[in-house]
Each structure stands twice: as C-alpha cells, then as structure tokens.
Chains A and B, each alone.
Chain A
Amino acid sequence: MNATASDLPEPLAALIDGLRALPGVGPKSAARMAFHLLQRDRSGATRLADGLRGALDRLIHCERCNSFSEAPVCGLCASPRRDARQLAVVEMPVDLNRIEETHGYSGLYFVLMGRLSPLDGIGPRELGLERLIRRALDGVTEEVILATNYTVEGEATAHYLGELLKSRGLKVTRIARGVPAGGELEHVDALTLAQALVDRKNY
C-alpha cells in the first residue's frame, strides 16, 4: 500500500479513483475497498459491477412520481389499488420507502429528489418544480400532502409548494410534527416540545 498512484496498474488506479465517488470515501478507504474486492471477494465485485451497470442502463425516472423506475410508469404509480386522489410529496426515495413501511398510506407520491436550498443554490428551476405542478393538476388529485422534512429547507420547500398548489385550487396539507410515539415529555428535547405546543390541536 506504499505504492504511489503512478506505480499502480492503470485498471487498479481507475477502480480506486472510481470508488472515491462514494460519499465519505477518501483515498485510503477507496484503496482498502479495491483490494478487498479484488483479493477476498471477487464474486462480490462481479455483483457490484453488474449491479452498477444494470442500474445505470435500465433505471429511469418514473414519469408520474419522479422516483427511480425500470418502466416509464413505476409499479406503485400503475397500481389500481392506490388512491389517486391523494398525492404525498417527499424529498427522497428513501422517504417514500419510510412512508410505505407504515402501511398507513394508500395514496400516490411525488419524489422531489431534493429540496429548495437557497444557500446551496438549489431553487425551483434546479428542482424542476413545474413537473410537480403538472403532476398535481392531473384532474384526479384532490389533496397534496406535503411530507418534506422538518428542517428549515424542508419547511421552505413545503411553504412555497403549498402556495403554488393552493393558488391552483388544490387542497394542501402538511404532515404533523411533535412528541414522538411513546414519547415521554421528560425526555423530549425542548425544541420539539416547544413546537408541539405551538402546533397543538383541538381535542
């Protein structure tokens, strides 16, 4: 491992360089991963290579929900069992998966693949908000559920989406926040508790 990059055979150097594309992976970790795959887990390396190739070649964005899909319309959007009157807007595919795990929602989704983040230069154009507006105005959607994160960026995203969709006559709701399930006030952080009091509801 003392070899410098220029001493390495070209394919190995290219692999190490490629692995550095992963988040949080620096030159040392990338070299460790490369040697592990080549020396100790060649079948794993093949699966990784095939997986990457397949995903790159075959995955597209679903034209309805914008999440990853193999077909132009993904299985979830095409399912007749889903309630097309509700549309939940989430930031990332992982958020969609989390909501699906609850088994408590039967509507459809739109995945933004990000959030408005003014300080990072991510605005409505970069996010493609007009696609969501077109999707929500399909004539079937009645309620848009804003399920972006409760971060300042997620809140800003929800606010502007809300304004844009309400002005076009849609019912817009926002997922609730507050004390978590099974939460004891004694152990809830102060900010969450303060927000739960602000957002209290009639009982």
Chain B
Amino acid sequence: MADRVDQAESWVLHTRPYRETSLLVDVFSREHGRLSLVARGGRRPQSSLRARLLAFQPLSLSWFGKGAVRTLHAAEWQGGLRDLAGGTLICGFYLNELLLRLLPPEDAHATLFDAYGATLRALVAGETPERCLRRFELVLLEEMGYAEPLHQTAAGAPIEAERRYCWRPETGLVETAGGDEDGSYAGAMLQALTAGDWSHPAVLQGSKLLMRALIAHHLGAGQLHTRQLLIDLNTL
C-alpha cells in the first residue's frame, strides 16, 4: 500500500490532546520530514503509546493514510539516549519550536534530521548548550536555503578579521564605516563561525546575536515562546 509507512526513524516534536482520547503528534522523520499523526486512543490510561510518544527520544514510527493528518499505528522506542534533564530540556524545546516554525511540512531533510539527533546527544553528554544550539541553527538555516553567505560581504569582498560588519535583512553582511557600531560583528568572529571554531567565548556570544537576527528575520512575526519563557523565568 502506497499510503503506508513502516518503521520510519522519527522524533516527536510536540503532542497535543485531540478529540476525547486521542493525541495529535507532530513528528520529524528522516525520510518524510515533518508531519502530523493521530495516535488513536493515545490518551487512554492503559495506552502503551502514551509512554513511548515522548519528545527527545529516538523512535521508530509506522503510520498510514493520506491528507494532512495520518494515523499512527505503531511506535517503538529505539533507546540509547538518556533523558534531557534540567536546563537542557528548554534547549530541546527550543530546537523543536524552531523546527515547528521554520520547517515546511513533508519536506525531507536527512542532514537536518541527523544534526538534530547529534545535537540532542551532545546536550545529553553535557556539551556546552550554546555551542550545540549555534551549530544546529547553522545547519537549519543552510538546509532551509536561508543560509546567508557569512564568509563574504554582500558586495562579495572577503571578511577580514580586523574589520567590523553589520548584517542587514535581504542584503547580508556590510562593512561598517568605522568603530564599534551597535549591532556590528567582528570579522574575526565571523571567520571563526564559518570555520566552526567555537573555542573563544566571544565567538559564541557574537554568533548568538547574529543567529538570533537571522532566525527572527525568517520567522517573521511572533516571538519564540521558548525565548520568552526564559526571559520571564529570569524576572521571578
């Protein structure tokens, strides 16, 4: 049957209650991209799906049907990954929110899928969360075709370590007239970012601001909930 998919490597991004006893599950699968599945009876107390459809756990999912919402019929836990715990949980929610907001449905992105898994594993292993997130954001923007050329200016000039640059929507990187203009980035930071060298704290700090600007531009209207949550928690 053409409308049947068996044992697709997947991650659960989000689950919501659906009708009386079912769950609506947003998943990200390696071969089929992001899609919505209904887990029938997934909220019944005795449902075996309930304990398996957890975010941040590697799953093998099978589903059938066509249209915007398919029906989940089997979920198997693949194991081998410990839970995201404590502060890294919000990093996981952030990754999921990015995928839900930026990834168009039913668009397979195997590279992004692998990067997602690698990011979760790195977070669980205790790697610096900022480094994991920046790496994932870069892959996401590249895979979405949003990658701005960060190794050269909009005019095509190479980035030089000693100069400073601004990023402008629709244009790209532009060299600043001079001095530490607000919102400008050091050339050395941009060079390290494109080379994937995160060893210097200034690179992490600078790339955080640049990634935030790039992502905000592509998200359009609406704040990221995960970012707002952290801001609100800090005021308590």
Contacts and interface: CB of A to CB of B under 8 A. Distances in A.
A24 interface: yes
B236 A130 contact: yes
B87 A159 contact: yes
Interface string B4-36: 000000000110110111000000000000000
Contacts of B48: 189
Query: Most chain-B CB neighbours within 10 Å: which of A23, A156, A192?
Result: A156
Interface in B68-113: 77, 79, 82-87, 89-90, 92-94, 96-97, 100
B229 interface: yes
A151 interface: yes
Nearest to B76: A190
Interface residues on B, range: 35 or more
Given A156-B90, A190-B77, A118 B236 contact: no
Contact of A124 (B93, B226, B236): B236
A110 B57 CA distance: 30
A189 to B, nearest CB: 5
Contacts of A23: 17, 20
A159 B89 CA distance: 9
A181 B232 CA distance: 39
Contact of B97 (A118, A123, A124, A189): A118
B51 interface: yes
Contacts of B51: 189, 191-192
Lowest 4 CB-CB distances: which A-B pairs, in order? A24-B20, A123-B229, A118-B93, A118-B226
